[in-house]
Amino acid sequence: MTDTSETIFDIRDIRVTFATPDGAVEAVRGVDMNVKAGETVAVVGESGSGKSQIMMAAMGLLASNGRVEGSVTYRGQELIGMPREKLNRIRGAKVTMIFQEPMTSLDPLYTIERQISEPLRVHGGLSASAARARALELLKLVHIPDPERRLKSYPHELSGGQRQRVMIAMALANDPDLLIADEPTTALDVTIQAEILGLLAELQKKLGTSILFITHDLTIVEAFADRVYVMQHGNVVEEGKTEDIFQRPTRDYTKMLLAAEPEGSKPPVPDTAPILLDANDVSVTFSMPSGFLSPRFELKAVQNVTLSLREGQTIGIVGESGSGKSTLGRALLQLLPSEGRVVYQGTPIQGFDRAAMRPYRRNLQMVFQDPFGSLSPRMTVGDIITEGLLVHEPQMTRREREEAATQALREVGLEPAVRNRFPHEFSGGQRQRIAIARAVVLKPTVIVLDEPTSALDRSVQKQIIALLRDIQARYRLSYIFISHDLAVVKALSDYTIVMRTGRVVEEGPTGDVFRAPASEYTRDLMEAAFNLKKVLSRQASARA
Amino acid sequence: MLRYVLRRLLGAIPTLFLVITFAFFLMRVAPGGPFDRERALEAKVLENLNRVFHLDRPLWEQYFYYLGNLARGDLGPSFIYRDFSVQQLLGNGLPVSIQLGGMALLVALLVGSLLGCIAALRQNSWIDYGVTAVATFGITVPNFVVAPVLSLIFGVWLSMLPAGGWGGPSSMILPVITLALPQVAIVARLIRGSMIEALRSDHVRTARAYGLPMRMIVGVHSLRAACLPVVSYLGPAAAALLTGSVVVETIFGLPGIGRYFVQGALNRDYTLVMGTVIIIAVFVVIFNLIVDLLYAALDPRVRYD
Amino acid sequence: MTDIATNVPEAAADGQMASRSLWATALLRLRRNKAAMASLCLLVIFIFAGVFGPMLAPHHYAKVYPDFVKVPASLEAYPREDAIIPEIESVVTRARLDLGSVELDGSTLRVEANSSREIDPRVTRYFDRSDLFSNARVVEQSSNGRSIVLAADVERLHFIFGTDANGRDLLARILISVRISLMIGVLATGVALLIGVLYGATAGFLGGRIDNAMMRVVDILYALPFTFFAILLVVFFGRNIVLMFIAVGAVEWLDMARIVRGQTISLRRREFVQAAEALGVNSGGILRRHIIPNTLGPVIVYMTLLIPKVILLESFLSFLGLGVQEPLTSLGVLISEGARNMRGAAYMLLYPSLALTLLLFALNFLGDGLRDALDPKDR
Q: Which neighbouring-strand residues pair with A36?
A: A7
Residue B136, domain CATH: 1.10.3720.10
Instruction: Say whether A292 and B11 touch across the interface (CB within 8 A).
Output: yes
Asked if B18's CB is within 8 angstroms of C342's CB, the reply is: no
Residues of C in contact with A215 (CB under 8 A): none
Residue A154 near residue B300 (C-beta atoms within 8 A):
yes
Does residue C8 have a pLDDT over 50?
A: no
Average confidence (pLDDT) over A138-164: 89
Domain assignment of residue B181, yes or no: yes
Judging contacts by C-beta atoms under 8 Å, the chain A residues touching residue B202 are 99, 101, 104-105
Chain-centroid distance of CA A256 in Å reads 20
Residue B108 within a domain = yes
Number of helices followed by number of strands (H, E) in chain C: 14, 6
Nearest Cα of chain A lies from the Cα of C294 at a distance, in angstroms, of 7
Burial of B14 (0-12, 13-18, 19+ CB in 10 A): exposed
Which residues on chain B are in Cβ contact (under 8 Å) with A92?
Answer: 209-212
A197 versus C35: which is more confidently predicted? A197
* Percentage of the residues of chain B whose pLDDT score is greater than 90: 13
C224: confidence class by pLDDT, cuts 50, 70, 90: low
Residues of C contacting chain B (CB within 8 angstroms): 220, 223-225, 227-228, 231-232, 235-236, 308, 312, 315-316, 319-320, 322, 332, 335-336, 338-339, 342-343, 346, 349-350, 353, 356-357, 360-361, 364-365, 368, 378
Domain that holds residue B193: 86-298
Query: CA of B42, closest CA in chain C: separation in Å?
Result: 25
Lowest mean pLDDT among A288-292, A432-436, B225-229, C375-379: C375-379
Preferred mutation among A287, A387, A480, A484 to probe C, highest tally of C CBs within 10 A: A387
Asked if the Cβ–Cβ distance from A96 to B205 is below 8 Å, we say no
Residues A180-185, mean pLDDT to the nearest whole number: 91
Mean pLDDT check: name the lowest of A183-197, A344-358, C140-154, C238-252. C238-252
Q: Is residue B161 part of a domain?
A: yes
Distance of alpha carbon B74 from alpha carbon A155, whole angstroms:
51
Do the Cβ atoms of B145 and C356 come within 8 Å? yes
For residue B38, is it within any domain? no
Residue A82 vs residue C161, higher pLDDT: A82
In a domain, B58, yes or no: no
The 3-state DSSP class for residue B123 equals coil
CB within 8 Å: B140 and C338: no
The residue of C22, C32, C271 whose CB has the most chain A CBs within 10 angstroms, and thus the best one to mutate to test that interface, is: C271
Return the residue of A nearest to B202 by Cα. A105
Closest CA to A461 of A437, A419, A427: A427
Share of chain C above pLDDT 70, in %: 87
Q: Which of B122, B210, B304 to mutate to test the interface with A (most CBs of A within 10 A)?
A: B210
Distance to chain B for C116, nearest Cα, Å: 55
Q: Does B136 contact C361 at a Cβ distance shorter than 8 Å? A: yes
The DSSP call for residue C119 is P
Structure confidence at residue A288 as a pLDDT band (50, 70, 90)? low
Best mutation site among A84, A105, A214 for testing chain B: the one with the most B CBs within 10 Å? A105
Q: Which residues neighbour B19 within 8 Å (Cβ) at sequence distance 6 or greater?
A: B277, B278, B281, C220, C223, C224
Asked whether residue C2 carries a pLDDT value surpassing 70, the answer given is no
| Mean pLDDT, rounded, for A51-77 | 90
How many domains does chain B fold into?
1
Shortest Cα distance from A290 to chain C (angstroms)? 12
CA distance B193 to chain C (A): 7
Confidence at residue C17, expressed as pLDDT on a 0 to 100 scale: 44
For the question of an ipTM over 0.90, the answer is no
Q: Identify the pLDDT of residue A133.
A: 93
Of C4, C274, C290, the CB nearest to A335: C274
Number of B/C CB contacts below 8 angstroms equals 103
Number of C-beta neighbours around residue C372 at 10 A: 20
Mean pLDDT by 10 residues, chain B (305 residues): 84 84 81 68 75 78 86 82 84 90 93 91 86 86 86 82 77 89 90 89 91 89 88 85 86 85 80 87 86 86 69
* B11–A105 C-beta distance less than 8 A: no
Structure confidence at residue C1 as a pLDDT band (50, 70, 90): very low
pTM of the model: 0.80
From residue B18, give the alpha-carbon distance in Å to each of A405, B11, B25, B67, C220: 57, 12, 11, 12, 8
User: What is the Rg, in whole angstroms, of the alpha carbon atoms belonging to chain A?
Assistant: 26
Verify whether the Cβ–Cβ distance B261 to C228 is below 8 Å.
yes
H-only helix segments in A31-159 = 51-58, 84-90, 112-124, 128-141, 147-151
Residue A533: per-residue pLDDT: 84
Range name among B213-222, C16-25, C105-114, C297-306 with the lowest pLDDT average:
C16-25
Nearest residue, CB atoms, A61 vs list B7, B11, B205: B205
**B23 occurs within a structural domain:** no
Where does the pLDDT of residue A90 fall: very low under 50, low under 70, confident under 90, or very high at 90 and above? very high
Interface check B262 vs C, CB under 8 A: yes
Nearest to C342 among B32, B152, B266 (CB): B152
Q: Which residues contact A457 (CB under 8 A, 6 or more apart)?
A: A46, A47, A216, A428, A429, C1
Spell out the domains of chain C, with CATH numbers in brackets.
Answer: 34-67+164-378 (1.10.3720.10), 81-154 (3.30.1360)
Whether B26 maps to a domain, the answer reads no
Residue-averaged pLDDT of chain A: 89
Closest Cα of chain C to A463: distance in Å? 16
Chain B residue numbers with beta carbons less than 8 Å from the beta carbon of A118 are: 207, 210, 212, 216, 220
Write the burial class of residue C330 (CB in 10 Å: 0-12 exposed, 13-18 middle, 19+ buried).
buried
Q: Beta strand C77-78 with A503-509: parallel, antiparallel or unpaired?
A: unpaired
C275: nearest CB among A51, A364, A374: A374
**CB proximity list for B143: less than 8 A, separation 6 or greater:** B178, B179, B181, B182, B245, B247, B248
Of chain C, the percentage scoring pLDDT greater than 90 comes to: 1
Q: Are B261 and C228 in contact (CB under 8 A)?
A: yes
Q: Helix, strand, or coil here: A317?
A: strand
The shortest CB-CB distance from A422 to any of C3, C7, C19 is to C19
| Alpha-carbon gap: B141 to the closest alpha carbon of chain C (Å) | 6
How far is the C-alpha of B184 from the C-alpha of C11, rounded, in Å? 40
Confidence tier at C176 by pLDDT (50, 70, 90): confident
pLDDT at C9: 34
B214: contact with A, CB 8 A cutoff: yes
Asked if the structure places residue B264 within a domain, the reply is yes
Residue B241, C-beta contacts closer than 8 angstroms, at least 6 positions apart: B101, B102, B104, B105, B179, B183
Statement: residue C218 has pLDDT above 80:
yes
**Rounded-to-integer distance, Cα A325 and Cα A450, Å:** 9
pLDDT digits (tens, 9 = 90+) for B146-158: 888 888 888 888 8
Q: What is the mean pLDDT of residues A442-460?
A: 89
